Copies of this chain bind each other. A is one copy, B any other.
């Protein structure tokens, strides 16, 4: 690690830019056949053997030889509250403030039932209700984030979910009680109803199928490692899932008038997550890119996680020179980043041009880190280009809809001939008659 650190430089004017960008993004999700088979066998075992399978896999994969029953993996409400009570004042204050802001933002997402009446008295609409019981997966291990507890659980509670069941893998007791306690405190603040210290495919299986101890849920949300992601995909359909997660990414667009140190640190904040994380800066200002490159080289050696940051930036980072603002937007939409920072003079005027992004951070004073913790919007976001079709985790993920159709006698009589015509053409006689018999005076068979 020296001041000579060089980050990849790219320019849209160079021949081969498109293919170089495609290589940089290179996010084809390859799921190993063997991984998929391992996960399938874990899920089948949990489905068949319940608690005993879950305990066995926890002993094996989480190296918890101290565990012999589900009771040891069950955290009581008293334990959650005790963790909260024992928290230092500053942390407790920060958690509560973050929780309150997250709650307030998500209240705006709650969708009501709606109906409207037609002239003939028929009523149409949708009946919107909360899911009954959901599971939230909170990563443990290296990525031990109490903020993730708030970001997953609070939107569910705002939606009105009765029972929020949280799983988190923890080799905490003994070696790292402090962080485990903060996770538990966050669960208390968020109002989580039940916590199990489980992880991996076995935790997903327990939530999807239910065991003697773990209640079966309707939907499982929250990111995890490759085993968790594969398991969520496999149980999808038996339960709902939120999205399929990959490595985290940040794309910054800057007009060249933000402090280059700020931008360098923003790029670092993404890169420090893990070696697979991706940080990209786009600017039409070549001199500014030079300044940020210099900031990166100067600041990197001072960072605690410099090795992770350096690997991430070297393997997956880039500073991209574009010719103008429209080209910056085009490259952004090509990337479809999880996080998009618009560090420009009038960011709102850029919004209509943004087609694909998980979260958009507007202006020089909105670093991604604020969104990660406490701004309000959820930090569970679509990664790896899936912002083309996925949305941030939100209240809408915890609500579901039923169509409402209420035909008046007049409405039914008006629609029935149309249905009869189409059903007859589809050779569905019972459909045709079921509709037609609602027409007054129509003879039966």
Show the binding face of A for B, using Cβ within 8 Å: 28-29, 33, 40, 90-91, 93-95, 97-98, 101, 105, 108-109, 114, 116, 123-127, 129, 131-132, 144-147, 182, 218-219, 229, 233, 236-240, 243-244, 259, 261-262, 265-266, 268-269, 271-273, 299, 302-305, 309, 340, 347-348, 351, 354-363, 365-378, 381, 386-392, 394, 396, 400-409, 411-412, 415-416, 418-419, 421-423, 425-435, 437-438, 444-445
Contact = CB atoms under 8 A, between A and B. Distances in A.
Contacts of A371: 403, 405
Given A354-B402, A400-B391, A372 B431 contact: yes
B303 A429 contact: yes
A233 B219 CA distance: 16
A273 B431 CA distance: 10
A360 B407 CA distance: 11
Contacts of A304: 427, 429
A149 to B, nearest CB: 11
Contacts of A368: 434
B302 A418 contact: no
Given A240-B390, A378-B403, A403-B358, A127 B351 contact: yes
Given A266-B434, A269-B434, A369-B434, A377 B403 contact: yes
B244 A144 contact: no
A421 B94 contact: yes
Contacts of A236: 233, 236, 244
B98 A108 contact: no
A121 to B, nearest CB: 10
A261 B437 contact: yes
A46 B24 CA distance: 24
Contact of A262 (B233, B273, B438): B438
Given A299-B445, A359-B403, A371-B403, A426 B145 contact: yes
Contacts of A101: 415
Identical copies of this chain, number? 2
A132 B355 contact: yes
Contacts of A376: 124, 405
Contact of A98 (B305, B374, B422): B422
A268 B373 CA distance: 55
Given A360-B405, A365-B411, A377-B405, 4 more contacts: A127-B360, A236-B244, A299-B445, A375-B407
18 contacts: A94-B422, A127-B351, A146-B426, A218-B388, A229-B237, A240-B386, A268-B430, A269-B430, A273-B428, A305-B430, A365-B408, A366-B405, A370-B438, A374-B422, A376-B405, A387-B400, A389-B400, A391-B400
Contact of A95 (B363, B386, B422, B445): B422
A384 to B, nearest CB: 9
A272 B403 contact: no
A430 B303 contact: yes
Contact of A400 (B340, B390, B419): B390
A131 B389 CA distance: 6
A136 B392 CA distance: 24
B272 A370 contact: no
Contacts of A434: 262, 265-266, 268-269, 367-369
A429 B195 CA distance: 29
Nearest to A268: B430
